[in-house]
Amino acid sequence: MGEYNKVILLGNLTRDPELRYTPAGLAVCEFPLAVHHRYRIHDETKQDVCYIDIVVFGRVGERTKEQVRRGSRVLVDGRLTQRRWEGPEGQKRTKYEVVANTVQFIDLGGAPASGQEEDLPL
């Protein structure tokens, strides 16, 4: 059986997205996403927050940069990836991030924001 790697997240940007271009001209948009998990223990409501780095390529990345900012609520559909590299002093480094296939901008009412209903495919 083949592998399956799919991630769906609903959360808020913790800072404005950053957009850059590769030497080949491909747009790369990156932003951190805060995803909250609320639960109850006895009569007390608790909350955990997970901060996840999101990467969006191409036109979807450009549209993301144009339409969202810190605090925006988004629905991200993508896959989990792992980057490995060596630090400046030879130490091995690893980072997990989600490469988004689609980003859907959500208004505070939970419905897609006006003019932003479409998923933006990668």
- Domains of the chain are 7-106 (2.40.50.140)
Q: Indicate the pTM of the whole model.
A: 0.81
**b/e map 80-91, b = 16+ CB within 10 Å:** eeeeeeeeeeee
Query: How confident is the model at residue 114, as a pLDDT?
Result: 40
The pLDDT tens digits of the residues spanning 55-102 come to: 999 999 999 999 999 999 999 999 999 999 998 999 999 999 999 999
The answer to whether the beta carbons of residues 32 and 9 sit under 8 Å apart is no
**Residue 50 reports pLDDT greater than 90:** yes
**Residue 117 reports pLDDT greater than 50:** no
Query: How confident is the model at residue 116, as a pLDDT?
Result: 41
Phi, psi of 107 (to 5 degrees): -85, 175
